[in-house]
């Protein structure tokens, strides 16, 4: 099933849930689309699977301090894109696996917030383009997110402990997978590219060179938009489960 036009325009509707591995992933790969959805009136919810405890080369910072700092940065960056709700799961950074426990934890959040759209990493991408090896946490978070969307969040009898918590089954309508090597969907982020960059800048512990980071994001977005004649775009592998 292919999309009618590869260029998608976000519209109003149900909540959008961004499920990613680390603090800063949502802004980096999906900040443009998230900003557009938020502007269109959709509620945004982030679920960050790991504690971000490995994301520093500073020998003087302790993991608990780093975890607290990165969560605070993530809340600020999310707020900048219009997201007030950030759920942090406690899985250790750099150790994420697509386990049944992670699947259940994500199904729990899907049943709790009832998103119409889930945005996550493409779990099939072991590398992206010709200069980036995909972080194994990214693949693991994407695999667990897809399995949580279908069938775990939908099936009444899967993870009965969720029903016991009062969480009824929920069907997600659409999935957008970021950092995909075979995208079928382009989102024009020309109007929000600076907002995306500004949100990334709020991850202060992760960015050493502001200007270099901004140029990299502009360059990536320009390259992503080229095949569709867009100045700046984000690309996704898109699945519509309502059809």
Residue placing its CB nearer to Zn ion in the complex, 25 or 27: 25
Nearest distance, CB of residue 155 and Zn ion, angstroms: 29
Q: CA 160, CA 243: separation in Å to the nearest integer?
A: 28
Angle 63-80/25-39 helices, nearest 10 degrees? Answer: 20
- Please compute, for residue 134, the number of CA atoms within 13 A of its CA located in the half-sphere on the CB side: 22
Q: Is 25 in the site for Zn ion (CB under 5 A)?
A: yes
Q: Which is nearer to Zn ion, 104 or 139 (CB)?
A: 139
Alpha-carbon Rg of the chain, whole angstroms?
17
Part in contact with Zn ion (CB under 5 A); list of ranges 24-32, 36-44, 143-151, 218-226:
24-32
Q: Closest separation between CB of residue 56 and Zn ion, Å?
A: 13
Q: Per DSSP, which regions of the chain are E strands? A: 7-8, 16-20, 44-50, 85-91, 117-121, 127-128, 132-133, 174-178, 185-188, 233-240
Interface stretch with Zn ion, choices 15-23, 92-100, 144-152, 231-239 (CB under 5 A): 15-23
Stretch that binds Zn ion, among 13-21, 44-52, 115-123, 219-227 (CB under 5 A): 13-21
Among the residue ranges 25-33, 42-50, 62-70, 139-147, the one whose residues contact Zn ion (CB under 5 A): 25-33
- Looking at beta carbons only, is 128 or 162 nearer to Zn ion? 128
Count the residues of the shown chain that bind Zn ion, applying the rule CB under 5 A: 3
Q: Counting contacts by CB under 5 A, is residue 70 touching Zn ion?
A: no
> For residue 127, how many other CB atoms are within 10 A of its CB?
11
**Residue 127 vs 155, nearer CB to Zn ion:** 127
Helices (H) and strands (E) in the chain, counts: 7, 10
Q: What does the angle CA 76 – CA 39 – CA 230 come to, to the nearest 5 degrees?
A: 105
In whole angstroms, how close is the CB of 21 to Zn ion at the nearest point? Answer: 5
Contacting residue, 22, 75, 80, 195, with Zn ion by CB under 5 A: 22
Neighbours of 153 (CB within 10 A): 29
Using CB under 5 A, list all residues that contact Zn ion.
Answer: 21-22, 25
């Amino acid at each position: 099933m292919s999309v009618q036009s590869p260029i998608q325009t976000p519209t109003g509707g149900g909540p959008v849930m961004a499920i990613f591995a680390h603090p800063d992933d949502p802004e980096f790969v999906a900040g443009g689309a998230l900003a557009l959805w938020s502007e269109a009136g959709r509620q945004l919810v982030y679920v960050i699977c790991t504690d971000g405890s490995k994301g520093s080369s500073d020998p003087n910072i302790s993991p608990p301090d780093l975890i607290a700092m990165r969560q605070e940065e993530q809340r600020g960056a999310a707020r900048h894109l219009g997201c007030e709700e950030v759920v942090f799961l406690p899985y250790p950074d750099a150790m994420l696996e697509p386990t049944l426990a992670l699947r259940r934890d994500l199904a729990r959040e899907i049943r709790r917030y009832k998103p119409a759209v889930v945005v996550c990493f493409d779990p099939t991408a072991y590398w992206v383009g010709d200069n980036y090896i995909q972080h194994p946490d990214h693949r693991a978070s994407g695999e667990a997110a897809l399995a949580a969307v279908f069938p775990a969040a939908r099936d009444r009898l899967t993870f009965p402990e969720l029903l016991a918590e009062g969480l009824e089954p929920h069907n997600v309508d659409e999935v957008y997978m970021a950092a995909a090597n075979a995208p079928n969907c382009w989102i024009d982020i020309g109007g929000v590219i600076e907002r995306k960059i500004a949100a990334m800048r709020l991850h202060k512990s992760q960015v050493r060179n502001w200007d270099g980071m901004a140029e990299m994001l502009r360059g990536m977005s320009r390259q992503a938009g080229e095949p569709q004649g867009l100045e700046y775009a984000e690309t996704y592998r898109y699945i519509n489960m309502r059809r």
